[in-house]
């Protein structure tokens, strides 16, 4: 098992052994998942995480444009610019991206979940989703700089709301009202809202419930 070097918690990353013919190869768990076209977003979205996910998507798209990429999401959200970089890459590559919410997809995590290919946005039964307006830490500086930052924030907020309204089928007015504060949805509510297309009950059972 190897350690994730830049993680202050020093989380252990398992190593798995894969049999390839008569040869055994050791992979860290994420590399082994990537071999099966699975990408895992399991934390906050920041520039480093975004760059890693983008690189994996570009690699898999080059490998086979006709095969889906599965993006599992268990994330509290994070940076809007970093999330939008992933969002644009999902739309840029030719492969369909099948998004699956495991545990939680909040904020930018929910935005990426909703951006999965049509009919290929899934959630596990006890996962939940949260959408809200963009969040930023305290703004400081000169008044003019604060005004410029505020204008940019409002522009970003309006852009994200329009995209999310298109992805969910909700009216823009309704969505804008709901995201003024944290808006939480369980799996069934996320399905009804249009954030996902189905609820997964297991790999053998497939989709338990499809959006009507």
Phi, psi torsion values for 193, nearest 5 degrees = -75, -25
Residue 134 sits at the vertex; the CA angle it makes with 39 and 104, to the nearest 5 degrees, is 40
**What CA–CA distances, in Å, run from 211 to 120, 131, 193, 197, 202?**
11, 19, 9, 5, 17
Q: Mind telling me the catalytic residues?
A: 107, 132
Largest Cα separation within the chain, whole Å, is 68
SS3 content of the chain, % helix, strand, coil (to 5): 40, 30, 30
Contact 98, 144 (CB under 8 A): no
Helix ranges (DSSP H) in 78-186: 80-92, 108-114, 143-168, 172-178
Within 10 angstroms of residue 206's Cβ, the number of other Cβ atoms is: 11
């Amino acid at each position: 098992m190897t350690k994730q070097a830049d993680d202050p918690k020093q989380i252990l990353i398992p190593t798995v052994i894969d049999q390839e013919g008569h040869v055994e190869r050791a992979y860290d768990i994420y590399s082994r998942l990537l071999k099966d076209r699975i990408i895992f977003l399991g934390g906050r979205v920041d520039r480093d995480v975004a760059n890693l996910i983008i690189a994996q998507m570009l690699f898999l798209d080059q490998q086979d444009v006709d095969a889906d990429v599965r993006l599992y999401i268990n994330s509290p959200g994070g940076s809007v610019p970093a999330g939008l970089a992933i969002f644009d890459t999902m739309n840029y590559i030719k492969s369909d991206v099948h998004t699956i919410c495991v545990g939680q997809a909040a904020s930018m995590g929910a935005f990426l979940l909703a951006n999965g290919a049509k009919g290929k946005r899934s959630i596990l039964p006890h996962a939940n989703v949260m959408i809200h307006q963009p969040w930023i830490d305290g703004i400081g500086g000169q008044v003019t700089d604060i005004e410029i930052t505020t204008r940019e924030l409002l522009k970003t907020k309006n852009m994200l709301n329009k995209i999310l309204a298109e992805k969910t089928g909700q009216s823009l007015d309704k969505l804008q009202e709901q995201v003024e504060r944290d808006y939480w949805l369980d799996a069934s509510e996320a399905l009804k809202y249009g954030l996902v297309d189905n609820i997964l009950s297991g790999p053998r059972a497939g989709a338990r419930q499809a959006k009507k």
